[in-house]
Amino acid sequence: MSITISVLLENRLKPESKNLLRAKAGLSLFIQDENDSILFDTGPDDSFMHNAGLMGVDLTNLTASVLSHGHYDHCGGVPWIPDTCRIICHPMVANERYSAVRFPGYTARIKKLSIHNNFSRFRMEYSSTPLHIN
């Protein structure tokens, strides 16, 4: 059995790819074997779709999409996942998340890490424990 893992999106690009592919904060991987096609995270927006198209990766018949956690840079592209896709994630993936940096004498900088996604159109599968993707 062979497995192919394609990096659809990450923070950096090779210099020769800069004019074609998009780089954004976050991650998106396409994992495929003889039986399944899995999207692992989406990145922050539709950039994973843009890059998949340029790379010749077909995302129309995904077996599932796996969301590692609920930060915007890993599940912000959910609106662009095909409606027929099953999403596997932790039950609290949609909870709001924030990050704060505090130093004595300075105002705290608070950053929202979560994003609001409408999961109602998807077949959701929740797991509170780690899963094997195979």
| 41-58 residue pLDDT tens | 999 999 999 999 999 999
Pairing assessment for the beta strands 28-32 and 4-9 based on DSSP bridges: antiparallel
* pLDDT score of 133: 62
User: pLDDT band at residue 5, thresholds of 50, 70 and 90?
Assistant: very high
| 69-116 residue pLDDT tens | 888 889 999 999 998 899 999 888 877 777 777 778 776 677 666 667
Query: How far, CA to CA in Å, does 45 sit from each of 15, 101, 108?
Result: 22, 25, 27
| 18-38 residue pLDDT tens | 678 999 999 999 999 999 999
In the chain, what are the domains? 4-126 (3.60.15.10)
* pLDDT score of 45: 94
Is pLDDT larger for residue 130 or for residue 82? Answer: 82
Coil, strand or helix at 95: coil
Q: Under a CB-based contact definition with an 8 Å cutoff, are residues 11 and 25 in contact?
A: yes
DSSP class of 109: E
* pLDDT score of 116: 74
Taken in order 33, 25, 129, 118, the sign of the CA dihedral is: negative
* pLDDT score of 9: 95
* pLDDT score of 20: 87
* pLDDT score of 127: 86
